[in-house]
C-alpha cells in the first residue's frame, strides 16, 4: 500500500493544464498503478477541501478525474455527490439551458471565485475503475462539477466560461 501523501497541485500557468489529455488504455484501468493514483487523488482532494480533481492538476495528462462531495448544511442546493472515478469521460448530451453560478478551481489557489456558465443538465459516459462503461445523467450543482472536471481533461479552464450576466 502506498503511503498517503498530498500531491502538489499544478497551478495556472503550467502548460499541462492546457493540453488535451490522453485516453487511459483499457489495459491500464484495473492496474495497481492507476488504483494507487486514484487513491492519492481522493486523499489530496479531501485534504484541500476540493470536490473534484483532474489528473492534469497533479501533473498527469491522462483522462482521469475524481469527484466527491459530502454536502454542506448551509448549501442545500449543493447535493452530496458519491465518490466517483471518471475515466475517459464524454458528455454525450447537454441541456440547451445554461445556468450561471460561482466556481473556483484548485489550480487557481488564492484566486477569487467567478460566475461560470454551465449546462443545467448533462448525460455523461465514462469508464469506472473496474472498466465498466457507465452512463449517468446529472443536474444542477452535480452537473456543474462534472463539467468542470471534464473540461480539465480537454485543456479547458473555468476562466474560459466566465459569465458576465449575474444569474
Ligand atoms: Ni478545477
Active-site residues: which are they?
Answer: 149
* Phi (first) and psi of residue 75, to 5 degrees: -130, 75
Which residues are close to ligand 1, an ion, with C-beta < 5 A?
105
Confidence of residue 146 (pLDDT cuts 50, 70, 90): very high
For residue 30, the tally of other CB atoms under 10 A from its CB is 11
What is the model's pLDDT at position 164? 73
CA of 151 to the centre of ligand 1 (A): 8
State the maximum Cα–Cα separation within the chain, in Å, rounded to a whole number: 48
- The three grid cell numbers given for residue 43, joined into one nine-digit string: 486523499
Mean pLDDT of the chain, nearest integer: 93
Which DSSP state fits 102? Answer: E
> CA 103, CA 92: separation in Å to the nearest integer?
23
Classify 45 as helix, strand or coil.
Answer: helix
What is the model's pLDDT at position 61? 98
CA of 152 to the centre of ligand 1 (A): 7
CA of 11 to the centre of ligand 1 (A): 10
Picking from 162, 51, 78, the residue whose alpha carbon sits closest to that of residue 114 is 162
Which letter, b or e, does each residue of 127-142 get, where b requires 16 or more Cβ atoms within 10 Å of its Cβ?
bebeeeeeeeebeebb
- Can you give the pTM of this predicted structure? 0.94
CA of 156 to the centre of ligand 1 (A): 9
Confidence of residue 78 (pLDDT cuts 50, 70, 90): confident
Amino acid at each position: 500500500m502506498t503511503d498517503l501523501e498530498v500531491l502538489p497541485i499544478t497551478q495556472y500557468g503550467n502548460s499541462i493544464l492546457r493540453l488535451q489529455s490522453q485516453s487511459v488504455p483499457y489495459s491500464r484501468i484495473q492496474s495497481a498503478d492507476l488504483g494507487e493514483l486514484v487513491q492519492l487523488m481522493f486523499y489530496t482532494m479531501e485534504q484541500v477541501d476540493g470536490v473534484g480533481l483532474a489528473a492534469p492538476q497533479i501533473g498527469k495528462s491522462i483522462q482521469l478525474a475524481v469527484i466527491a462531495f459530502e454536502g454542506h448544511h448551509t448549501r442545500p442546493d449543493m447535493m452530496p455527490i458519491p465518490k466517483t472515478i471518471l475515466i475517459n469521460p464524454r458528455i454525450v448530451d447537454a441541456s440547451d439551458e445554461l445556468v450561471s453560478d460561482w466556481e473556483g478551481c484548485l489550480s487557481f489557489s488564492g484566486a477569487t471565485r467567478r460566475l461560470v456558465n454551465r449546462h443545467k443538465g448533462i448525460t455523461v459516459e465514462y469508464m469506472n475503475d473496474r472498466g465498466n462503461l457507465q452512463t449517468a445523467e446529472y443536474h444542477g450543482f452535480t452537473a456543474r462539477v462534472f463539467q468542470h472536471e471534464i473540461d480539465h481533461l480537454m485543456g479547458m479552464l473555468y476562466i474560459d466560461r466566465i459569465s458576465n450576466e449575474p444569474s
